[in-house]
Structure formats: C-alpha cells, structure tokens
Amino acid sequence: MRYISTRGQAPALNFEDVLLAGLASDGGLYVPENLPRFTQEEIASWAGLPYHELAFRVMRPFVAGSIADADFKKILEETYGAFAHAAVAPLRQLGSNEWVLELFHGPTLAFKDFALQLLGRLLDHVLAKRNERVVIVGATSGDTGSAAIEGCRRCDNVDIFILHPHQRVSEVQRRQMTTIFGENIHNIAIEGNFDDCQEMVKASFADQSFLKGTRLVAVNSINWARIMAQIVYYFHAALQLGGPARSVAFSVPTGNFGDIFAGYLARNMGLPISQLIVATNRNDILHRFMSGNQYVKETLHATLSPSMDIMVSSNFERLLFDLHGRNGAAIAELMANFKQGGGFSVEQDRWTEARKLFDSLAVSDEQTCTTIAEVFASTGEVLDPHTAIGVHAARECRRSLDTPMVVLGTAHPVKFPEAVEKAGVGKALELPAHLTDLFEREERCTVLANDLKVVQGFVSQHGNRGKPL
C-alpha cells in the first residue's frame, strides 16, 4: 500500500514511512493512494470474530508490504488483549434502536487507546527492525497524552514529550499522564491553550533542526496509523447489529475530525453506513461547515467537554481532499486561503456531496448536562460529557428510526467528574481497579512558557533518555 499527500507535492510513502512521518513535506496529510474495498460477503463472513481478528482483516491491506502477517497478528492480539472488557468495544443499548459503543475499556479510559496502544507497539516493532531512535512531540487536550504515554512507555527506541495546556485538562487526565515515570517520558504543561500546544508541534515538524538529526514522529491524528486503527470498530459495531445486510448510522463526538473520518473510510471500504453525525460542543467549526458551508476559525471556548475544545480540525483536510476529487493543488490553495484569511467555503456541489452522508449539531454545556441526567434517569448509565454530546446530536439529527443508531462512547465518565456533578447525577463514580490509587500517586511535570524556543530547547536537552540529543 502506498500513501499520498493531500497537497499533492510530497513523495508517496509506504506504511512504515507513513508511520514514522508527521505532516507530509508539502504540509499535507497522508492518505492511502487506493482504499481497499471489501465485498458484502467478505464482511458478512467476519461476524463473530474476536476483536483482534477482525482488526487483522480490516487493517491488513493498509500495512501490506511493511509488516508481516504473523507479526501483525501478534501485535494486534497483544494490543487488544490489554483491554479490560472481553468484548474490547461492547455495545450498550440506551433506547429503542439506540446504542453506545463503549470505547473506553483501554488502559487510559478513552477511545484514543484503540489507536495509540497499537501505534506504540508498531513503532517498537519497526524501530527495532531499523535499529533507529525517534522523538515524539505531541500536543494533547487531555486524552491523547495519556494514551500516547501509556502506549510508548515500554518502547526502547522512543522518547516522548507531551505538551498539555497548563491547568486546562481535568485532574484525572493530568494525573494519568504525570504519574507515569520513565527516563523516556516527559510531561510539559504549556502556559497557553491547546491550540498553542498544537501550533508548537506543527512548527517543530516544519523545522526539525533542534533535533540534531533524530527523527520526529507524530502521535496526534495526523498520523495515519491512528485513523487506520479507528476504522475497525465501525465494522465491529455494524457486525453486531445486523450489518452488512442492514445499514447503521453513527453519531460521533468530534474535535479534530479523526474519529469520524475513520467512519467515513469504513463506509468507502464497503460497510453500509447510512449517516454520520458530526457532534461538536460550542467549538463548532465543523458544525458551521456542515450546516452552512462556512469553515471559519473563531475564538476558543472552554467547555465541559475539553477533549473537543479546538478551533481548527486538522483531519478535515483529508475529507476536503476527497471532496475535491483528490486534487492536491486545490487543497494547497484552500489551506493557504485559510491560513491567510481564517476561513473558506467550498463550491456548492462539493458541499452538497458532503451533506449526503454527514449531518451535524453543536451542543451546549447545558444540553450536555441535561442529556447526562436524562440518560441516567432512564437507564442508570452515567455518560461522559463527550458521549452525551453524541447522544444529544443523535436524537436531534437522526434520519431514520429503523436504522440502528450507534453513538461512539469516547470516554469513561470518571475522567470528567465536573460535568457529571453539574448534571446532578448522584452516583459515585469509581476509578477502575488499575487506577484506584491515582490520586495518591506522585506526579512529574515541567511547566514551560508558551514559547517555541523554550520548548524545543527542553526537548533537545532531554531527548535521549533524559540526556541531550
């Protein structure tokens, strides 16, 4: 499988190089040159497979030529064997033909584990083979950081630096990152917001001289391997609910457009998906595009669903690429306009094309809490605020009551106690067994100024197992 850039100028790469790349050299994002397509018979034959075996069948074409089947199978079995639920991604019914796909049974309690626990193992495998070391610099609004640290803590050839916005992630999220120690693990709290952190990561990819030749790897969802791993659970959910004979709809709490883009790809690979709902919080750039063809940057608001508090959705470029007939030059121009003027619209027929599949809604903090309270009253289930946004949007935007509606349950509610308390849910939430002493553990974290040079200096001083590069 070969991968090409959404801006059309960078060289095509194989899976191994895409795994180790960040942004493409032309500023674009890598996507498969040709998407694999499965027949209905083939998909139907996967019903009842354990999660890791389904994962092997769905992802195999993407890694073909780079990772041997036997190695890949073993990596997948280890990755998903570490999840706390035997079904890995169980479905829980909330209402009539309405389900939550629980994606929070991994070690760090959010869906990011599906991709990052795999990414860590893939990196380890590939780097050992190449006898190479890399540095990871990643930005997190909360959940990516802990999942990436957890996924890479045992990687001998990786030093990982995670930037989070100082005092803007929940205490559980922070502690999940800062209580994991290792000479290759570095938590940095930036005196700024998530977009400041993300900008620093982008700038570091653009000019890597501070790394003195060591390769920089991306762990945010610009890394293709993350999107790839997320495609699997769309197949998994649909197969439980009568797919592929029957189509299924999904409502996806969305920030960077990574998770929902994986659903879009699952559909293009042959899985019958009739509707994808983009569910955002007040930071609604994607909703404004889907509802009114306006992709315009606005100020950032802090909400009760902090993992979706972002102004610009990096993966959206991957959808735009398809909407523009995979014309890299057109995307380069759009993104240049965006950088200059902070916004764009696309031609009407391209927007109409997107709207055939996607609906959207922006959900307020108040509606989020109401939904948590309502679902608790009717089912006894406590939703996390991100998942609640997905449920609310599903109920508002659903096109057909006959089609199963699956809301992606993106995080465990224990990660976001503030929203759960505000919703007035009087049920004490307990940390899962492996985290019961989280609040007693020692923390390690460095607070740094919102200044690129300072951060890059820190990385080059500590990028080789705590020693200078």
Ligand X SMILES: *Cc1c(COP(=O)(O)O)cnc(C)c1O
Binding of ligand X by 1 (CB under 6 A): no
98 to 127, contacts with ligand X by CB under 6 A? 110, 112
What's the closest the beta carbon of residue 178 comes to ligand X, in angstroms?
17
Nearer to ligand X, 21 or 308 (CB): 308
Catalytic option among 112, 129, 212, 427:
112
At 165, the amino acid letter reads: P
Binding of ligand X by 414 (CB under 6 A): no
Tokens coding 469 = 């590069």
Q: How many residues does the chain have?
A: 469
Q: Tokens 């003027």 sit at which residue?
A: 341
What's the closest the beta carbon of residue 252 comes to ligand X, in angstroms?
7
What's the closest the beta carbon of residue 255 comes to ligand X, in angstroms?
4
Binding of ligand X by 280 (CB under 6 A): no
Angle at 253 between CA 252 and CA 258, to 5 degrees: 75
Angle at 268 between CA 267 and CA 271, to 5 degrees: 35
- The verdict on whether 427 is a catalytic residue reads no
Nearer to ligand X, 102 or 124 (CB): 102
359 to 388, contacts with ligand X by CB under 6 A? 386
Rg over alpha carbons for the chain, rounded to the nearest Å, is 21
Nearer to ligand X, 66 or 283 (CB): 283
What's the closest the beta carbon of residue 46 comes to ligand X, in angstroms?
24
**CA-CA distance, 216 to 460, in Å (whole number)?**
12
Of 49, 108, 47, give the one whose Cα is nearest residue 82: 108
Interacting span for ligand X (CB under 6 A) from 243-251, 257-265, 328-336, 423-431: 257-265
Interacting span for ligand X (CB under 6 A) from 250-258, 287-295, 317-325, 366-374: 250-258
Binding of ligand X by 163 (CB under 6 A): no
Interacting span for ligand X (CB under 6 A) from 247-255, 337-345, 352-360, 419-427: 247-255
Binding of ligand X by 290 (CB under 6 A): no
> Binder to ligand X among 27, 151, 165, 253 (CB under 6 A)?
253
> Binder to ligand X among 102, 143, 359, 381 (CB under 6 A)?
143
Nearer to ligand X, 79 or 221 (CB): 221
- Contact indicator for 121, 82 with CB cutoff of 8 Å: no
What's the closest the beta carbon of residue 212 comes to ligand X, in angstroms?
31
Estimate to the nearest angstrom the gap between the alpha carbon of 291 and the chain centroid: 23
Q: Give the torsion sign (CA, 65, 71, 72, 75).
A: negative
Strands 446-448 and 185-190: parallel
**CA-CA distance, 12 to 24, in Å (whole number)?**
9
Binding of ligand X by 221 (CB under 6 A): yes
What's the closest the beta carbon of residue 194 comes to ligand X, in angstroms?
11
301 to 330, contacts with ligand X by CB under 6 A? 307-308
What's the closest the beta carbon of residue 258 comes to ligand X, in angstroms?
3
What's the closest the beta carbon of residue 110 comes to ligand X, in angstroms?
4
> Binder to ligand X among 102, 113, 259, 309 (CB under 6 A)?
259
Nearer to ligand X, 256 or 403 (CB): 256
Binding of ligand X by 255 (CB under 6 A): yes
Binding of ligand X by 56 (CB under 6 A): no
**CA-CA distance, 462 to 456, in Å (whole number)?**
10
Nearer to ligand X, 106 or 243 (CB): 106
- Contact indicator for 462, 186 with CB cutoff of 8 Å: yes
Interacting span for ligand X (CB under 6 A) from 31-39, 248-256, 426-434, 448-456: 248-256
Applying CB under 6 A, the residues found at the interface with ligand X are 110, 112, 143, 221, 253-259, 307-308, 386, 410-411
As annotated, the active-site residues are 112
